Structure 1
Amino acid sequence: MARRDDQLCRAVGARLRELRREQGLTQEALAERIGVEVGNYAHVEQGVANPTLSTLGRFATALGVPVLELFRAPIERSVRVGRPPSVKAGGSNAKTAGARAAAARAARRPTRGERVELRALAAKATDESASLDDRIDAVRSYAAILTRLAKT
């Protein structure tokens, strides 16, 4: 279980870094917005720290994205000499012109059943009366569905 937690922390940290850079923010600026020490924020980005759901909520609010956006896999960028930069999304390459749009188009739309399941998981993840373990499991399940959709 600890290994999966480490992987999740690293993935969330990488996604936070990507979102922060997209908005042109420094670690210092984002940490100040959220009200945390820069070193603590840096540990989250590095995947060393395991932030609480409320802290993740503050990150998401400061970045102007839904909390679940923090659990999407970051887009790997690669640059080759003599070729335009490309973006790898779910194992396929797309040119960087509209990289996010290309990645979104590559992802299959969820079926009605998957949408119902995603809504139920989102509700469970944000249900303050649910146990922390149940909420974390809901977030992990939600992220797994999003990852599966991105790969198909």
Structure 2
Amino acid sequence: MTARLKGRRREVARLLGRFADWAATDTAVEAVILVGSYARGAERMASDVDVVIVTSDPDRLARSDSFAPVLRGAAHLRDARWGPVRERRYRLPSGLQVEIDLAPREWLAVPLDAGTERVLRDGYRVVYDPNGRMDATGVGAR
């Protein structure tokens, strides 16, 4: 592993710590989950960070960008919708791209939707989950 990738991993670890701290201050946030290549330990320098925020109010979070301080000077790149999930993509000053997916609490409803199950079975890591929502899904972390 290169020194650059090690540095990128440290940057992502700090970012996830800030997400956990922020989530604990917002009562609408029910869970923060890392998915994608960083969750699987298969990241490369070109990989983005995929963060799912499970919330009781995704529209408010999308409008307010209350998580913006976590991103520390990131540039907003684009928004998209994937069914009930609202995606917001940012580029940090380091060049690292962060995809934030704002998912309604129903995204984790059991039985899981096929798309949700596919995302989670591909690998995830819990960043914040004070009520054990991820344990209730029956999908073990990888």
TM-score surpassing 0.5?
no
Relative to its length, the structure with more helix (as a share) is: 1
Structure having the higher strand fraction is 2
Larger Rg: 1
Q: TM-score, with normalisation over the residues of structure 1?
A: 0.27
